[in-house]
Structures are given as C-alpha cells and as structure tokens.
Structure 1
C-alpha cells in the first residue's frame, strides 16, 4: 500500500507583490532594488506579508547574477501599512557582510520609520540612494 502524501505549498497568502531591478556601478558592483506594493485597502500588516517580504529580500540577496549583490535598496513607499521594528526584512547575508542597505519610504512614512530603522538608512529618492551607495562602495574599495 503506498503512503498517503498530502500536497502543500510553500507560498504565503498575501496581496503584497514586488518588482526588482539591478544597477551595476562603474566598478561592476551589483546594487539590487526591490520594490514592494499592496492594494490600498490592505492597511493592516499580517504575518504572511512580513514573511513574503523577508523571503523575497533573502532570495534576492543570494542569487548570483553571476556575482552576489553588493548593496540593496528596499522600496516600501507603495505599502499602505507600516512595518514595526520587529519585522525581519533585511537580508541576513547582507547584514552579516555589512553591505550597504537603504530603505526608500515616502515623506509621509518618514516620521514612523525614523524610529524603526537606522535613520541613516532611510531615503525617499531612488537616485539619491543609488548615488550614496555608489559612493560607499567606492570608498570601500579604496
């Protein structure tokens, strides 16, 4: 008699979606940009939302393109809910290797996130965040 197997999924049920991009610096460092969004009606953050964000940032940080990312920008501007300090959204590999990470937030979200994340990590303009990361990576090499 064969053993009974029950199909399951590893996906989490959440309306949160993401888009991702790569930026290559002149020294060929890879900067990953990952933007999360959710419907405006989804105003309460749930466990599945945080888990989805955590999984996507971790996956993005360890995919070889063929090199790993040297830095990351997490864009939270299009999330209608706010994350708290306990939300594990930063990729473990990048934290351990002290890679530059920036969090893009809207100006309306800035007051909240200034008390949640390191204020130096916050930004509200993607081009400024990339320029700052490029400067940090240039100094790291020299």
Structure 2
C-alpha cells in the first residue's frame, strides 16, 4: 500500500465544500469520496488575534535578569582592570576612575543589546539608542584618558 506512506502524501488539501452547486454535485461527490479515502484532512488552526499570548512582561523580566548578571560580571571586570592599571604603576585613584568608566561603557553597551533583544521594534529607535551610544562613547573615551599617569 504505497498510498499510506507519508512520502506519497501531497500535503495540504482543501476540505470538501459544505454546499456545492447542483451541476457539479455528482462529480464533486465522486472526487470527495476519493479524496477522503486517500488522505486525511486536518483543519487549519484559526489565526485569531485574541488567542495570541503577550510575552512582553516575561521577556522584560528575562532581559532584566540577564542585565543584572552582566552588571555583576562587569563589576568584577572593573576591579580587574583597575588592579591591572595599579600594577602598571598608575595611581590608584586614577585607576579606580578608569575602571568605573569602563563599567559605565560596558553597562551602556549591554543595556542597548538587551533592550534590542527584548523588543527591537520599540527600543532600536534613536530616542533610546542615541543616548546609550553617546554615554558609551564618552565613557570609552574617558576610560583611556583617565588611566594616563
């Protein structure tokens, strides 16, 4: 029985109409009988806008947790960077300031990426990304200028 294998299934088939015109009633009944025996039809899922689930609050919560974990990692990176500068004979207060500027740069970069991942349509607007990019660039510039001896 080659008809029962999934390879022979033609794919999507239209269901038999509920009311057929009287002239086409006899040929349609014969075609419907052969269609019903050769393949099974499944109703297509309804595309109802009410049945779609809103995941924005869940996505925002996940993005916030990811951002918090990144901030913790960036804090340790800030301390390592400042300690590395102190080892290179940079004064500790300048090394600490440079570390904080590095933290601000990394935090603004991560915030932009997480916001774009949470809702790109809303947060990739210049109103949100412009200030984040500006703060990031200023912080990157100050990271390297404040670490000079």
TM-score by length of 2: 0.30
1 or 2, which has the higher strand percentage? Answer: 1
TM-score by length of 1: 0.32
1 or 2, which has the higher helix percentage? Answer: 2
- Is the radius of gyration larger for structure 1 or structure 2? 2
